């Protein structure tokens, strides 16, 4: 059988990489080639399906080194027993593609992952070789995100961190039992152990000013949602533990997608994408709004987020007795819990109220979403007309019901 050409390899391995969501970047150090040394740059914000502060959309070349794999994870399209067309890049081919795509202004960086070839160390060596060639031989200063393989040696992980802006180590599934059932060749202890060692290395670099460069944009992970039956409460509890233990920059939630010839133990239907969206919103509440993972789902026996309303609004409805709040006296931590008020809006409100009393129009000018907030706040010129109960408020502010599609 004829070997695939470079274009065909790119089609196969770019498509195979689409299931990995953890390719966005934040916190990468700014680099450029203004001093005529090297090529490429990083902006320090939002790479891959995101936007920079000046509104530019930037992207990565997102590929697998190979979609062949010695592992047989039931939920993975590239598993050993899957009947998919296989391909594999050489190190030279990935370097060439990255440089050529950058020169044509298609990309600003590289996201590189891989199936496991031969063993974890051999695969990690290949990934590191790509990053090393780009950085040292071609002076590439663009963003590089490498997928770290937990089973690989710590020496190789350390080398990867030297050349990559970010490392990601996928936790795969939210529970150890789920991983044992659907990916028995992977061990959660190994995954978490590698995360812990990356965190220790990151802490060392922060503590020593002259320490060698190591993954300056930190580490992230990805969790598959809806494959193993774990409810949202379990997922958020696992996420809170990962953030607290390993200092992750971000956790990505990926709704399980049914694949051909999959295990009969897997769901035959994908979970609603809105569930993935609600988990991202709940994750945001834990990271930036001071919410605990347990209180986000308090009182829900099934442990599932409400798909009809966002988790912050759902929490406010369950805790109606805490509202309305006087925006001129309420502490920051409570203002952050008002539906319609984001972190920037709250910070602007606190700064402004030092100089004047905030009125309802001021909240609008400070970018607050008044339609959602006004039933939960008090200003000198506004007090909710009625003490609306949760049922009435939900009916008023929740999205209207939609006709289900017949097709």
What is the C-alpha to C-alpha distance for residues 324 and 376, in angstroms, rounded to an integer? 4
Q: Identify the pLDDT of residue 208.
A: 87
Which letter, b or e, does each residue of 370-382 get, where b requires 16 or more Cβ atoms within 10 Å of its Cβ?
Answer: eebbbbbbbbeeb
Which letter, b or e, does each residue of 164-175 get, where b requires 16 or more Cβ atoms within 10 Å of its Cβ?
Answer: bbbbbbbbbbbb
Give the residue among 165, 88, 106, 94 at the shortest CA–CA distance from 133.
Answer: 94
List where CATH 3.20.20.70 sits in the chain: 6-259+270-289
What is the C-alpha to C-alpha distance for residues 35 and 46, in angstroms, rounded to an integer? 24
Q: Going residue by residue through the chain (407 aa), what tens digit of pLDDT does each one get? A: 566 889 999 999 988 888 887 655 454 455 555 555 555 555 433 334 433 434 445 588 999 999 999 999 999 999 999 889 999 999 999 999 999 999 988 888 999 999 999 999 999 999 999 999 999 999 999 899 999 999 999 999 999 999 999 999 999 999 999 999 999 999 999 999 999 999 999 999 989 877 888 999 999 999 999 999 899 999 999 999 999 999 999 999 999 988 877 778 888 888 999 999 999 999 999 999 999 999 999 877 899 999 999 999 999 999 988 999 999 999 999 999 999 999 999 999 999 999 999 999 999 898 878 888 999 999 999 998 765 677 778 877 777 666 555 55
The angle subtended at Cα 372 by Cα 368 and Cα 374, nearest 5°, is 80
Q: Identify the pLDDT of residue 311.
A: 96
Q: How many helices (H) and strands (E) does the chain have?
A: 15, 12
The two structure tokens encoding residue 205: 């670099």
The alpha-helical segments, DSSP class H, found in 1-149 are: 6-16, 91-103, 120-132
pTM of the model: 0.87
CA distances from 364 to 5, 288, 348, 356, 358 (A): 57, 22, 11, 15, 10
Cβ-based burial of 108 (10 A; exposed 0-12, middle 13-18, buried ≥19): buried
Instruction: Tell the CATH superfamily of the 6-259+270-289 domain.
Output: Aldolase class I (3.20.20.70)
């Amino acid at each position: 059988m004829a070997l695939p050409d470079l274009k065909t390899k790119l089609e196969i391995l770019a498509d195979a990489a689409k299931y990995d969501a953890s390719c966005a970047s934040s916190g990468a150090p700014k680099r450029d080639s203004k001093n005529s040394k090297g090529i490429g740059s990083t902006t320090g914000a939002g790479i891959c399906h995101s936007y920079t502060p000046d509104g530019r959309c930037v992207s990565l070349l997102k590929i697998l080194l190979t979609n062949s794999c010695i592992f047989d994870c039931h939920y993975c399209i590239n598993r050993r027993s899957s009947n998919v067309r296989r391909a594999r890049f050489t190190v030279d081919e990935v370097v060439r593609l990255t440089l050529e795509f950058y020169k044509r202004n298609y990309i600003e960086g590289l996201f590189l992952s891989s199936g496991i070839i031969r063993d974890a160390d051999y695969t990690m060596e290949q990934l590191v070789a790509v990053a090393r060639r780009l950085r040292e031989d071609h002076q590439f200063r663009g963003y590089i995100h490498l997928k770290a393989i937990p089973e690989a040696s710590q020496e190789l992980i350390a080398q990867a961190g030297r050349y990559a802006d970010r490392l990601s180590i996928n936790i795969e599934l939210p529970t150890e039992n789920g991983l044992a059932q659907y990916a028995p060749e992977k061990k959660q202890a190994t995954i978490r152990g590698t995360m812990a060692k990356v965190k220790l290395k990151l802490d060392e670099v922060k503590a020593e000013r002259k320490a060698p460069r190591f993954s300056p944009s930190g580490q992230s992970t990805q969790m598959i949602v809806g494959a193993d039956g774990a409810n949202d409460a379990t997922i958020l509890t696992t996420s809170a533990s990962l953030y607290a233990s390993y200092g992750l920059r971000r956790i990505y939630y990926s709704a399980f997608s049914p694949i051909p010839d999959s295990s009969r133990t897997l769901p035959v239907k994908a979970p609603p994408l809105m569930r993935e969206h609600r988990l991202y919103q709940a994750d945001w509440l834990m990271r930036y709004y001071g919410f605990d993972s347990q209180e986000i789902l308090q009182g829900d026996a099934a442990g599932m987020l409400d798909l009809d309303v966002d988790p912050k609004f759902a929490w406010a409805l369950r805790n109606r007795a805490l509202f309305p709040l006087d925006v001129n006296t309420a502490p920051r931590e409570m203002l952050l819990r008002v539906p319609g008020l984001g972190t920037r809006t709250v910070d602007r409100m606190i700064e402004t109220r030092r100089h004047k009393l905030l009125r309802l129009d001021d909240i609008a000018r400070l970018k607050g979403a008044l339609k959602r907030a006004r039933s939960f706040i008090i200003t000198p010129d506004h007090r909710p007309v009625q003490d609306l109960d949760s049922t009435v408020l939900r009916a008023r502010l929740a999205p209207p019901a939609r006709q289900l599609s017949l097709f």
